[in-house]
Amino acid sequence: MSIEQIFATRTERMKASEIRELLKLLDKPGILSFAGGIPDPALFPSDAFAAAMAEIMKTGSDTALQYSVSEGYLPLREWIAGQMADIGVPCTPDNILITSGSQQALDYLGKLFLSPGDTALVGWPTYMGALGAFNPYEPRYDQLSVNGNRAASDYASEAETTGGKVKFAYLSVDFANPTGETVDQRGREAVLDMAEELDCAVIEDAAYQALRYDGEDVPSILALELARKGDLEACRTIYSGSFSKTLSPGLRVGWVVAAKPVISQLVLMKQASDLHSATFNQMAVHRVADAHFDSHVSMLRTVYGRRREAMLAALEAHMPQGVQWTRPEGGMFVWMTLPAGMDGADLLSYALETYKLAFVPGRAFFADGSGGNTLRLSFSCANEAMIDDGMARLGAAIRETMI
Amino acid sequence: MSIEQIFATRTERMKASEIRELLKLLDKPGILSFAGGIPDPALFPSDAFAAAMAEIMKTGSDTALQYSVSEGYLPLREWIAGQMADIGVPCTPDNILITSGSQQALDYLGKLFLSPGDTALVGWPTYMGALGAFNPYEPRYDQLSVNGNRAASDYASEAETTGGKVKFAYLSVDFANPTGETVDQRGREAVLDMAEELDCAVIEDAAYQALRYDGEDVPSILALELARKGDLEACRTIYSGSFSKTLSPGLRVGWVVAAKPVISQLVLMKQASDLHSATFNQMAVHRVADAHFDSHVSMLRTVYGRRREAMLAALEAHMPQGVQWTRPEGGMFVWMTLPAGMDGADLLSYALETYKLAFVPGRAFFADGSGGNTLRLSFSCANEAMIDDGMARLGAAIRETMI
């Protein structure tokens, strides 16, 4: 028997994400790409990291290179507790777990909550990495509405059809990947109301929260729930944060904030799955965050904000009638809806071949495989001239393939 | 309902490892501890890492701080391929996945192979972190014999009692944690023969392989299987390696070598669970390994080898009759068997209180909770004088609690 036949039969074999395979092809030289949802490396706080790392190796290499606790580096958890207090979530380091990026938090939360057949409520579309993290636990997906236009009882009875319960609502709240949209306070309150009725958890993915370019901050769902209940230990919202969009994704440092019974379980999962996140990385992120977070994020907001302006202006200038797109107040993404009948994947083939232009077709962000006429554009890594050039090519490609 | 009641019912709730909780108490000031199985931080190649890190931040910070591929940093995989060729396993980077320490490899392999009720063959005792990694996938454990004194058919029929199959044999082959013992070539061949009969995988944990202080290298199980079959793609052995004992555990860099279908599945798991291991860390480990691995490991062998000598001499000098211990050819551990009826945990309580002495009681290393009269001693972090002092205290504690 080949070794593949020995793999567990419990879960469906993992499948390569078509879209991630595709992404490998898109970021090639000569291609003008709006595909990758990654920070601009030219904006990394490299000097600050270099200085912090040198100082750590000079004064604390014994600690930095050694095993450490699964919970995470205490000074970093204390720094995060300070940030959380600033957004209306006072908490202690015991409410915080450091993860290897927020992707790991999503994996652990899937493992913690989902039995096969349970229901996860997600946006249509949603972050494809969340679907990737939850899929191995074999959930059923249902479409999360933030308008309160679907009754909790409806979700509950649908969930019973696969023998499970609604275990959580997952949502990226600010300038979401892939839509760029923000859930307003009423929507957040509606999600909380529904979660109360369904008695399920809420996973609040705040990966882009710091990157607001205009408009007013909306209170986090966890802050809203805490305001209702007055006690973090009574809250069902689990907040997932990340340094990947603000300081560096390559160091793999994120965090989770939740009631202590949730954190205790996640700490045990962390211990069993990789012991702890790299000690050195947590120390480096702590030093750079402590000294430079606000000023660095302020610079990012200025630069990315200009790119967003450039993209919205270029779309206005170059898109044919019948094409719609979002106007994000922050983050890295604009979401486009093509006229019905057009297909984002077909458009990509044409745009790549004819205009050496790349973006991500939208279907991969839909749990049900719908959304064929959508696509995601990222403005984070392109300068203003490239953005105007790119949107002109995209407009031409759309015109030439529209019927 | 409290949030704990929403957790998945599929798996037993994760339980805190008693032993890991205990370990937190043992490494306190004033305690002479032989408990922690960790490298001596005074021996870390800190200067080499500091120089490598500075160079990376000077010349490659854009890459080091950015997202990277789930497979791992190619130059590091190439370097590892070179090392594997040196031990009789020529392979390509496509046969290698970089993991966040070898703990992550064990977690992924548990996930890949085990359905609830399947059988994992492990040593009695075995590495407790392996049990921690496999437990969430709800296997049945059976005792792996490397003497060939139990028939494959016997394992297979026992496995059927819980409705599963034997999916793999897991073994730490060189100077194992916790016993310090090495499986000889005949034992390795016997495991391979049995795996062929059972049609199961073999997980070869080689975490301590580089730390040999005397005796001859024994070929790795994967090398033996490759010699039989002539094609890595036909091999059922999965080799797990780590830089944690040689260069640094705090950077969390390990690797897996296996046939490509196994690596492909593990890459997808990596993508879904944490995207990739920290880019910076892989680059730093690559630079230090490339320039200093052999000379650094040679120094470690000299220093740790002296400590092992000191511990064996001190045990000879201070242990009462009726106490037995292993004579490891490498690694960090000596395994002690107390006279029948004595209990390692009781001895620890007494030794802590009376002699401020710590070690790890052996029971936690047994999948069936046996081994009450055993304990693990680590010599990696103590100098020769501390070792003699500690073993004198241990001898006294044993004498005073023996009946």
Q: A202: pLDDT confidence band, cut at 50, 70 and 90?
A: very high
Does pLDDT of B12 surpass 90? no
- Kindly report, residue by residue over A51-101, the tens digit of the pLDDT: 999 999 999 999 999 999 999 999 999 999 999 999 999 999 999 999 999
Instruction: Assess A281–B contact: CB distance below 8 Å, yes or no.
Output: yes
Query: What share of chain A in percent tops pLDDT 70?
Result: 95
Confidence of residue A148 (pLDDT cuts 50, 70, 90): confident
Rounded average pLDDT over A131-159: 93
Nearest chain A CA: its distance from B76 CA (Å): 16
Question: For chain B, which domains are there?
Answer: 3-45+294-401 (3.90.1150.10), 60-292 (3.40.640.10)
Model pLDDT, residue B10: 47
pLDDT, position A3: 75
Q: How far is CA B133 from CA A228, A272, B25, B96, in A?
A: 39, 5, 23, 20
CB contact under 8 A, B65 and A136: no
Task: Decide if pLDDT at B16 tops 60.
Answer: no
Distances A3 to A7, A8, A363 between C-alpha atoms, Å: 7, 11, 33
pLDDT higher than 80, residue B20? no
The Cα–Cα gap between A210 and B348 comes to: 50
Q: Are B70 and B270 in contact (CB under 8 A)?
A: yes
Whether B326 contacts chain A with CB within 8 A: no
Quick check: B28 pLDDT over 90? no
Tokens encoding B305: 């080898």
Q: How far apart are the first and last CA of chain A?
A: 52
Residue B99 clears pLDDT 70, i.e. is over it: yes
Judged against a pLDDT cut of 80, whether residue B72 lies above it is answered with: yes
* Chain B residue with the nearest C-alpha to that of A139: B8
For B293-316, the pLDDT digits (tens) are: 999 999 999 999 999 999 999 999
Q: Do B111 and B256 touch, CB atoms closer than 8 A?
A: no
Does residue A225 carry a pLDDT above 80? Answer: yes
* pLDDT at B9 > cutoff 60: no
**Span B170-188, pLDDT tens digits:** 999 999 999 999 999 999 9
Q: Above 70 in pLDDT, residue A249?
A: yes
pLDDT at A28 over 60: yes
H helix or E strand, kind and range, residue B366: none
By mean pLDDT, which of B3-7, B41-45, B133-137, B164-168 is the weakest?
B3-7
Instruction: Tell me the C-alpha distance between B82 and A329, whole Å.
Output: 50
Secondary structure class of A331 (helix, strand, coil): coil
A236 with B6: Cβ contact below 8 A: yes
Residue A199 sits at the chain B interface (C-beta within 8 Å): yes
Kind plus residue range of the DSSP H or E element containing B324: strand B324-325
The beta-carbon neighbor of B17 closest among A104, A248, A271 is A271
pLDDT band at residue A11 under the 50/70/90 scheme:
very low
What average pLDDT does the segment A110-128 reach?
A: 96
pLDDT of A89 reads 98
The pLDDT of residue A337 is above 60? yes
pLDDT of residue A10 exceeding 70: no
Residue type at position B359: F
Asked if A44's CB is within 8 angstroms of B58's CB, the reply is no
Task: Identify the pLDDT of residue A16.
Answer: 57
Q: For helices A279-318 and B279-318, what crossing angle results, to 10°?
A: 170
- From chain A, the residues in CB contact with B119 under 8 A are none
Which 120-139 residues of chain B touch chain A by CB within 8 A?
A: 129, 132-133, 135-137
ipTM for the complex?
0.95
A2: pLDDT confidence band, cut at 50, 70 and 90? confident
Which whole number is the average pLDDT over B209-231? 97
Which has more pLDDT, B146 or B193?
Answer: B193
pLDDT bin (cut points 50, 70, 90) of residue A23 is low
What residues of B are in contact with residue A199 (Cβ under 8 Å)? 1, 6
Interface subset of B 49-68, CB within 8 angstroms of A: 49-50, 53-54, 57-58, 61-68
What is the rounded distance in angstroms from the CA atom of residue A101 to the CA atom of residue A84? 17
User: CB of A41 within 8 Å of any CB in chain B?
Assistant: yes
As a whole number of angstroms, the distance between CA A329 and CA A217 comes to: 10
Average pLDDT over chain B reads: 94
Distance (Å, whole) CA B334 – CA B379? 8
With beta carbons under 8 A apart, name residues in chain A contacting B69: 24
Averaged pLDDT for residues B95-112: 97
> pLDDT for B229-272, tens place per residue?
999 999 999 999 999 999 999 999 999 999 999 999 999 999 99
The dihedrals phi and psi of B387, each to the nearest 5 degrees, come to: -65, -45
At A36-54, the pLDDT tens digits run 889 999 999 999 999 999 9
DSSP string of A52-63, one letter each residue: HHHHHHHH-HHH
